[in-house]
Amino acid sequence: MELNESVRSLPGVGEKTAELLQKVEISTVKDLLYYLPRAYKDFSHCKKIRDVSFGETAFFKVKILSQPQVRRPRYKLEITSFQVSDGTGIAIVDIFNQVYIKNNIVPGNIIYIYGKLEQKFGKVRITSPELYFKKPQESFLPIYPLTAGLTQNMLRKFLREALHTAEFTEVYSDVFLRKNKLFGLKEALREVHFPETAERAEKARLRIIFDELLLFNRMLELLGEEKRLQNRIRIEGSFLEEFSRYLSFELTGAQKRVMREIENDLTGEQVMNRLVQGDVGSGKTVIAFFAMYCMYQNGYQSILMAPTEILARQHYETALKLFPEEKIVCLTGALTAKKKSELREKVADGTLKIIIGTHALLYGDISFENLGLIITDEQHRFGVKQRAALSGGRQEVHTLIMSATPIPRTLSLVLFGHTDISVVDELPPGRKEIKTYLIHGSKYNDMIGFIANELNQGRQAYIVCPLIEDSGGMEAKSAKQMFDELKSCYPGKQMALIHGKLKNAEKQKIMEDFSSGSLQILVSTTVIEVGINVPNATVMAVMNAERFGLAQLHQLRGRVGRGKHQSYCFLVSDNQNAYERLRVLVSSNDGFKIAEKDMQIRGTGDLLGTRQHGAGTLKVANLITDMGLLIRTREVLDQLKKSGGPEYGAITAAAKEELKKKLIEIALN
């Protein structure tokens, strides 16, 4: 039987059953074989009653001590109970509604039971266990995730059948398998479902993860290869010195290095595909503008996309210092339709060269005279969808992605192995490390006093709340409530409330006022999360900090510490359970470390794909816990490529197939 055949070809699988299996995304024999158990029932050795704690499920070998008693406490409820012992303890076994079992319960006989040991009604009990009158043949029985109507026994039966009849094609040679200490495919699949020992189950799973990660690496490679196009927008000249003259500060060594890398790309043989990683405040914006400047000097148009209108606006203000006003445009949703179409025309005929806007800009129908560069700022997720859209129809355009805390370094090396990465690993000089404090609500008034002091010295403050307004049942302070409270705390200070529900023009006005210093306090939701740059702001207070992710808090904190004054961040939380997590921020200012911790806590999700329910790229492997194997398989892939054996071709074919599926997924999105 071929692996791609429908499960219908297995004996016992009719239309109804096939529909049930479909619910857990099994349609082919291959899907079934890769439907892995979430755990096993361990029959390999019996546990002693004395050694098992209450609530634990185990396998016991016991002697029946008493005649079974049947009780009928309620209509349609019959309980058969009897006492058992294994020499270390006595337990009462309760069986529901199977009175016929009574005849098999003979005092003095040995039976095997599998169930949960509990303490109930003052006695040690095992309720509704599985009873075996002979020792089960298998040492481990698989336990699968189920759906209504599907049972463990059905899946076990189908899997035994499939393992028996399926034809497996092994991609690796025996030498390769031995060298990498891997099971053959057939053995791996058999052992992952019906293992002889726990070790063998583990080894079987390893082979499956190995395959998955090897394929994943090849997919990434293919994605990377696709992008490596010839550079037809090759620019000429060297602009770093000229550009520096426009700046009011000296560039850091890291900034200069990254700028040279970009210049090399733009003047090089291949189209640029570069990710610039640098912690918040490391000065990535100026790097983006340098790339645009290079294009501008060669007559090309550039796009800079920001995640929010506020940020787009801020970039626009920065651009005004570097480019002639009539060449720059800020395209945002706030514009009238008439204005928008007018500006689009000027983009199409090439009058406008520096095009700044929100990500939505990317999806709108917009044409260019000679687009040369697309920059995406503060991108946190790199869905295939976005990457495809980025390059869609514009394959030949240079791309630059700016990111503060995307993913841990080791991981990004793998995920973006074929995107070039520049790291801005140096902060502008004179920055003082932000002092971060985790405080309990009882210290709230001290914090209010502290902030008053900062305000009186001419500094500004951000106060962030998780909610806009009070919503019944949620125990968190809303931004509105906070705003009212602070008004009475700080009479005479100018403050504003900003949140996502405000009109764009209102938001913009508030940001401008805060930026110019006419507002001292900004109470907000997370709309200020990314990129906002007001160097005079020195306090960031986050209420109900437990409600935010670590990476998000780090982003928020990055709004302060941007100028020459000492800055402070207060994480306010009464939730002791969150303290361990929040302390990571108190002890570290390193965005990469924080991102890594955050991901350990929250999982990686599906970094390559646009995750739809359960349809991730990786089904078994976990990018964090299997990181070592991820890197090892990458090396193995390189070796396979060099050795020129048939494996590489087979993996490539499989990876292409997978990518095609992904692309269909994207197209359907």
Q: Which of 282, 379, 524, 544 binds ligand ADP (CB under 6 A)?
A: 282
Q: Is residue 284 part of the contact set for ligand ADP (CB under 6 A)?
A: yes
Only one of the segments 137-145, 259-267, 507-515, 525-533 lies at the binding site for Mg ion (rule: CB under 5 A); that segment is: 525-533
Dist. CA 76–CA 398, nearest whole Å: 73
Residue with the closest Cβ to Mg ion? 531
Q: Is 63 helix (H, G, I), strand (E, B) or coil?
A: strand
Among ligand ADP, Mg ion, none, partner that 428 touches (CB below 5 to 8 angstroms by kind): ligand ADP
Q: Is residue 531 part of the contact set for Mg ion (CB under 5 A)?
A: yes
Q: Which of 255, 277, 302, 617 binds ligand ADP (CB under 6 A)?
A: 255
Minimum CB separation of residue 537 from Mg ion in Å reads 15
Q: Is residue 589 part of the contact set for ligand ADP (CB under 6 A)?
A: no
Minimum CB separation of residue 563 from ligand ADP in Å reads 7
Bridge partners (DSSP) of residue 115 are: 58
Residue 124 sits at φ, ψ, to 5 deg, of -80, 125
Dist. CA 5–CA 13, nearest whole Å: 13
Among ligand ADP, Mg ion, none, partner that 281 touches (CB below 5 to 8 angstroms by kind): ligand ADP
Residues between 128 and 187 with contacts to ligand ADP, criterion CB under 6 A: none
Q: Which of 281, 372, 408, 466 binds ligand ADP (CB under 6 A)?
A: 281
Q: Is residue 306 part of the contact set for ligand ADP (CB under 6 A)?
A: no
Minimum CB separation of residue 239 from ligand ADP in Å reads 17
Among ligand ADP, Mg ion, none, partner that 37 touches (CB below 5 to 8 angstroms by kind): none
Long-range contacts of 124-127 (CB under 8 A, 24+ apart): 124/49, 124/89, 124/90, 124/91, 124/92, 125/91, 125/92, 125/93, 125/94, 126/60, 126/84, 126/91, 126/92, 126/93, 126/94, 127/93, 127/94, 127/96
- Whether residue 25 contacts residue 614, with contact meaning beta carbons closer than 8 Å, is answered with yes
Residue 167 sits at φ, ψ, to 5 deg, of -100, 125
142 vs 561, which CB is nearer to ligand ADP?
Answer: 561
Q: What residue ranges in 335-417 does DSSP mark as E strands? A: 354-358, 371-377, 398-403
Among Mg ion, ligand ADP, none, partner that 278 touches (CB below 5 to 8 angstroms by kind): ligand ADP
What is the token pair recorded at 500?
A: 């996502």
Q: Is 554 exposed, middle or buried (0-12, 13-18, 19+ CB in 10 A)?
A: buried
Minimum CB separation of residue 218 from ligand ADP in Å reads 33
Spatial CA neighbour of 400 closest among 491, 316, 293, 277: 277
Residue with the closest Cβ to ligand ADP? 283
Q: Is residue 283 part of the contact set for ligand ADP (CB under 6 A)?
A: yes
Q: Which of 252, 332, 460, 573 binds ligand ADP (CB under 6 A)?
A: 252
281 vs 372, which CB is nearer to ligand ADP?
Answer: 281
307 vs 441, which CB is nearer to ligand ADP?
Answer: 307
Site string for Mg ion, 155-194 (x = CB under 5 A): ----------------------------------------
Among ligand ADP, Mg ion, none, partner that 422 touches (CB below 5 to 8 angstroms by kind): none
Minimum CB separation of residue 562 from ligand ADP in Å reads 5
Size of the site for Mg ion (CB under 5 A): 1
195 vs 278, which CB is nearer to ligand ADP?
Answer: 278
Distances (CA, A) of 571 to 260, 524, 540: 39, 15, 8
Among ligand ADP, Mg ion, none, partner that 535 touches (CB below 5 to 8 angstroms by kind): ligand ADP
37 vs 283, which CB is nearer to ligand ADP?
Answer: 283
Dist. CA 50–CA 87, nearest whole Å: 9
Dist. CA 202–CA 405, nearest whole Å: 34
368 vs 592, which CB is nearer to ligand ADP?
Answer: 592
418 vs 565, which CB is nearer to ligand ADP?
Answer: 565
Only one of the segments 136-144, 281-289, 549-557, 648-656 lies at the binding site for ligand ADP (rule: CB under 6 A); that segment is: 281-289
192 vs 280, which CB is nearer to ligand ADP?
Answer: 280
87: left (phi over 0), alpha (psi -120 to 50) or beta: left
41 vs 284, which CB is nearer to Mg ion?
Answer: 284
Among ligand ADP, Mg ion, none, partner that 283 touches (CB below 5 to 8 angstroms by kind): ligand ADP
Site string for ligand ADP, 425-464 (x = CB under 6 A): ---x------------------------------------
Spatial CA neighbour of 284 closest among 324, 315, 243, 310: 315
Among ligand ADP, Mg ion, none, partner that 171 touches (CB below 5 to 8 angstroms by kind): none
Only one of the segments 21-29, 251-259, 464-472, 531-539 lies at the binding site for Mg ion (rule: CB under 5 A); that segment is: 531-539
- Whether residue 138 contacts residue 195, with contact meaning beta carbons closer than 8 Å, is answered with no
Q: Is residue 280 part of the contact set for ligand ADP (CB under 6 A)?
A: yes
Residues between 367 and 406 with contacts to ligand ADP, criterion CB under 6 A: 404
- Whether residue 36 contacts residue 25, with contact meaning beta carbons closer than 8 Å, is answered with no
Q: Is residue 278 part of the contact set for ligand ADP (CB under 6 A)?
A: yes
Residues between 479 and 538 with contacts to ligand ADP, criterion CB under 6 A: 531, 533, 535
Among ligand ADP, Mg ion, none, partner that 249 touches (CB below 5 to 8 angstroms by kind): ligand ADP
Size of the site for ligand ADP (CB under 6 A): 19
Q: What does DSSP say about strands 110-120 and 57-64: parallel, antiparallel, or unpaired?
A: antiparallel
Spatial CA neighbour of 313 closest among 330, 326, 290, 328: 330
Distances (CA, A) of 411 to 87, 261, 312: 53, 22, 29
Give residues with Cβ within 8 angstroms of 74, minimum separation 6: none
Written as one string, the DSSP assignment of 431-460 is PPPPEEEEE-GGGHHHHHHHHHHHHHTT-E
3-state secondary structure 500-544: CCCCHHHHHHHHHHHHHCCCCEEEECHHHCCCCCCCCEEEEEECC
Residues between 529 and 548 with contacts to ligand ADP, criterion CB under 6 A: 531, 533, 535
280 vs 374, which CB is nearer to ligand ADP?
Answer: 280
Q: Is 285 helix (H, G, I), strand (E, B) or coil?
A: helix
Q: Is 234 helix (H, G, I), strand (E, B) or coil?
A: coil
Spatial CA neighbour of 466 closest among 358, 575, 381: 575
CB atoms within 10 A of CB 547: 17
Cα of 634 vs its chain's centroid, Å: 21
Minimum CB separation of residue 394 from Mg ion in Å reads 23
Residue 213 sits at φ, ψ, to 5 deg, of -75, -35
378 vs 546, which CB is nearer to ligand ADP?
Answer: 378
Q: Which of 344, 562, 634, 662 binds ligand ADP (CB under 6 A)?
A: 562
Q: Is residue 249 part of the contact set for ligand ADP (CB under 6 A)?
A: yes
Q: Contact positions toward ligand ADP, by CB under 6 A?
A: 249-252, 255, 278, 280-286, 404, 428, 531, 533, 535, 562
Q: Can you give the binding site for Mg ion, defined by CB under 5 A?
A: 531
